[in-house]
Amino acid sequence: MIRPWPLLLALLLGACSHQAPLPVAAPALDWPLQLHVLRQQDDQRQDWLLVVQREDGALRWSLLDPLGIPRARQLLVQQDWQNDGLLPPNPEARELFAALLFALTPTEELAQRYPSVRWTADDKARQLFDNGQPRWRVAYRAPLDFDLVAADGLHYRVTALPAHERGATP
């Protein structure tokens, strides 16, 4: 009799072991960031608000829907993702957050932050490769205004929120 559990367990562990590439250290950015993320796949569109802030040596990522309901909350501590709060793990959000770190890293910091990953970059676009294939492609309109396409076909349009939408006073 063939027992499927060992095979299933091996497949699950293998899938978990291929984490999205992360920088060896967070890029030098003006934290916190508040971004509008428009997720597109086929004919489906979803709007999200993403807040990224530095906190005690970690980066806290909070992804919210337009009603303010959390979709994902993660802490990135020394190249390791940790759940933040009671939300279940969200692999798509972790992949998005890792891709955004790559997209947000200034070009002059890429070699230092991603020393063991193959990537290409210029002023208008960059790609990160995984096993010889593009994992993420980024096309810039401005530093905080870009399109991100993942290998699985997900497309994200990312823009910084204007100061008046972030609750800043004039």
89 falls in which pLDDT band (50, 70, 90)? confident
Supply the pLDDT for residue 163.
67
Which three-class secondary structure state does DSSP give residue 75? Answer: strand
Cβ neighbors of 142 (< 8 A, separation 6 or more) are: none
Q: Confidence class of residue 4 from pLDDT cuts 50, 70 and 90?
A: very low
Yes or no: say if 40 and 155 are a contact pair by the CB < 8 Å rule.
Answer: yes
Of the candidates 152, 30, 161, which has an alpha carbon nearest to the alpha carbon of residue 91?
152
Q: What's the confidence (pLDDT) of residue 164?
A: 52
- What is the topology classification, in CATH, of domain 26-166? outer membrane lipoprotein receptor (LolB), chain A (2.50.20)
Which of 11, 10, 18, 15 is CA-nearest to residue 131? Answer: 18
Q: Which residue has the higher pLDDT, 65 or 169?
A: 65
Mean pLDDT score of the chain: 87
Average pLDDT over residues 85-104: 94
User: What does the pLDDT read at residue 142?
Assistant: 94
Q: Is the pLDDT of residue 159 over 90?
A: yes
Q: Tell me what the mean pLDDT of segment 20-31 comes to.
A: 93
Distance CA 115, CA 146 (A): 23
Alpha carbon of residue 16 to chain centroid: 17
Integer angstrom CA distances of residue 126 from 1, 19, 44, 47, 104: 50, 20, 25, 24, 11
List, for residues 100-153, the tens digit of each pLDDT value: 999 999 999 999 999 999 999 998 999 999 999 999 999 999 989 999 999 989
Question: What are φ and ψ of residue 14, in 5° steps?
Answer: -65, -40
E strand or H helix that includes residue 15: helix 4-17
Quickly state the pLDDT bin for 170 (edges 50, 70, 90).
very low
Better pLDDT: 15 or 105: 105
- Residue 55: pLDDT above 70? yes
> In angstroms, rounded to a whole number, what is the distance separating the alpha carbons of residues 91 and 93?
5
How much is the pLDDT for 25?
93
